[in-house]
Amino acid sequence: MINKREKRKRIFYVPGIISLVFIPLLCLYSWYRKDVFKSEGCIDIYFPEKSFTKSNLESIKRNYQVFNFNSSEVLESKDLKNLQTVLRKMNRENDTINGVQIHLGNKMAYEVYVRILDILAIEQMPTYQQYNNDFFVLMLPKPKADKNLREITPITCGYWEANKEFVLKERKEKQFQYVLALYKKYWYLFLAYLGIVVLNIFALVKFNKTK
């Protein structure tokens, strides 16, 4: 005789549902109101003495192509793209005859200034100088390669994005050297661990054969 299976009554724990659903939503709303998810950043900028900057610029002769910016980033988007294209070509060809002069108008938005710095960092322009309301960007002749000398990577002081690739590469190399030093120092521990693993595998195979 088969007993008839009775359906169990589903139990809903209302306080538990409220805790699982509404409390996380209230937390997200509270964090959103307090701008917890909003990220902010800053750029450190250093301006050398005007006399020093002027003397440096006057000592280097270039045929400068001028870009004028005097509005918002939206209105200047086309000129910003053209600027990036020109800088990319100049850096790729190591053009030491021409240069770029970027004029900052009185009505130019701050976001355009930040975008110009971003473009200089993205295109990895090694040499640029701001003098008054102008940026002067140029390429310097590259010295002949000497295999006996260590490669020199230019660093843009105070600007993380420009040096990010180099810094991360340095950190990765230091971490690799640190791990390699640990392996060399404690090689016998790793060898003993490997031996234990092999011994356990051998014992397991032997146990299965005799079972």
pLDDT tens by residue, 72-101? 999 999 999 999 999 999 999 999 899 999
Q: Is residue 17 domain-resident?
A: no
Tell me the pLDDT tens digit for each residue of 193-209: 777 777 767 766 665 66
Calculated CA dihedral for residues 163, 169, 173, 179, nearest 10 degrees: 110
User: What is d(CA 69, CA 134) in angstroms, rounded to the nearest whole number?
Assistant: 10
In a domain, 28, yes or no: no
Structural contact between residues 76 and 116, judged by C-beta atoms closer than 8 angstroms: no
* Residue 24 in domain: no
> Per residue in 37-46, pLDDT tens?
676 666 666 6
Question: Tokens 């976001």 correspond to what residue?
Answer: 111
Residue 21 domain-assigned (yes or no): no
Range of the domain at 179: 158-210
In a domain, 97, yes or no: yes
Q: How does residue 184 score in pLDDT terms, banded at 50, 70 and 90?
A: confident
Residues 122 and 70 in one domain: yes
82 and 117: one domain? yes
Q: Domain total for the chain?
A: 2
167 lies in the same domain as 201:
yes
Residue 61 in domain: yes
- Domain limit, last residue, from 138, 167, 202: 138
Instruction: Say whether both 176 and 118 belong to one domain.
Output: no
Burial of 125 (0-12, 13-18, 19+ CB in 10 A): buried
Q: Give residue 44's pLDDT.
A: 62
Residue 12 inside a domain? The answer is: no
Residues 114 and 64 in one domain: yes
44 found inside a domain: no
d(CA 23, CA 172): 41
CATH of the domain at 77: 3.30.1370
